[in-house]
């Protein structure tokens, strides 16, 4: 096959049931020699996802699972954490006292592992882990469902307030 500057290649999933046409805004052209390199580089760098079954991307799932595991490990290794897990297991919810205990344990774990001022991403990961481990604590009216534990845009939530209190008490 000869290189042709007027050649435009479109990559389609052969298993896809949908008929997808190429967008007229696509102006990139590939030479026949470069499309193999592009495909092999793309397939090495990124995992291939199958979205036809309607499930969310695997990376989102694995982030939530990793956050859940991190929160669960923190609760298991800290005193009082097992009590929180047992209360949730028996009641399928947490009362005010055990929710405060959960936040205190996780804020303490966060500062031990990440330093006095954890990053926004770390706080968001802990909040995601909480609602993944304890699904009944998810807020159905907020975009992510975990903003009451930590909202990165506003810097508010139970975890943020506890971390600020801990920081204030340490400086005195």
Instruction: Decide if 29 is inside a domain.
Output: no
Q: Which domain holds residue 125?
A: 58-171
- Give the pLDDT of residue 132: 94
Instruction: Decide if 12 is inside a domain.
Output: no
Q: Based on C-alpha coordinates, what's the Rg of the chain?
A: 23
Instruction: Decide if 94 is inside a domain.
Output: yes
Chain segment 19-30, per-residue pLDDT in tens: 444 444 444 444
Instruction: Decide if 69 is inside a domain.
Output: yes
* Residue 100 exposed, middle or buried by CB count within 10 Å (0-12, 13-18, 19+): middle
Chain segment 123-168, per-residue pLDDT in tens: 999 999 999 999 999 999 989 999 999 999 999 999 999 999 998 8
Q: Is the pTM of this model over 0.75?
A: no
Q: Which of 31-35, 53-57, 153-157 has the lowest mean pLDDT?
A: 31-35
Mean pLDDT of the chain: 76
Instruction: Decide if 165 is inside a domain.
Output: yes
Instruction: Decide if 9 is inside a domain.
Output: no
The closest of 73, 169, 170 to 126, measured between CA atoms, is 73
Instruction: Decide if 3 is inside a domain.
Output: no
Instruction: Decide if 38 is inside a domain.
Output: no
Domain count, the chain: 1
Q: Is the CB of residue 42 less than 8 Å from the CB of residue 13? A: no
- Give the pLDDT of residue 103: 96
What are 156's strand-pairing partners? 151
């Amino acid at each position: 096959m000869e290189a042709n500057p007027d050649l435009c290649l479109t990559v389609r999933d052969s298993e896809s049931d949908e008929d997808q046409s190429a967008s007229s805004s696509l102006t990139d052209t590939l030479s026949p020699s470069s499309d193999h390199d592009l495909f092999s580089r793309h397939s090495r760098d990124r995992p291939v996802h199958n979205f036809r079954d309607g499930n969310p991307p695997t990376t989102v799932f694995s982030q939530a699972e990793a956050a859940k595991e991190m929160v669960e490990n923190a609760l298991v290794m800290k005193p009082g954490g097992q009590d929180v897990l047992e209360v949730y297991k028996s009641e399928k919810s947490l009362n005010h006292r055990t929710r405060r205990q959960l936040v205190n344990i996780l804020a303490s774990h966060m500062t031990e592992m990440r330093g006095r001022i954890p990053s926004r991403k770390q706080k968001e990961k802990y909040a995601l882990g909480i609602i993944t481990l304890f699904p009944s604590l998810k807020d159905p009216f907020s975009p992510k469902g975990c903003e009451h534990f930590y909202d990165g845009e506003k810097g508010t939530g139970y975890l943020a307030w506890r971390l600020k209190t801990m920081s204030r008490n340490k400086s005195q």
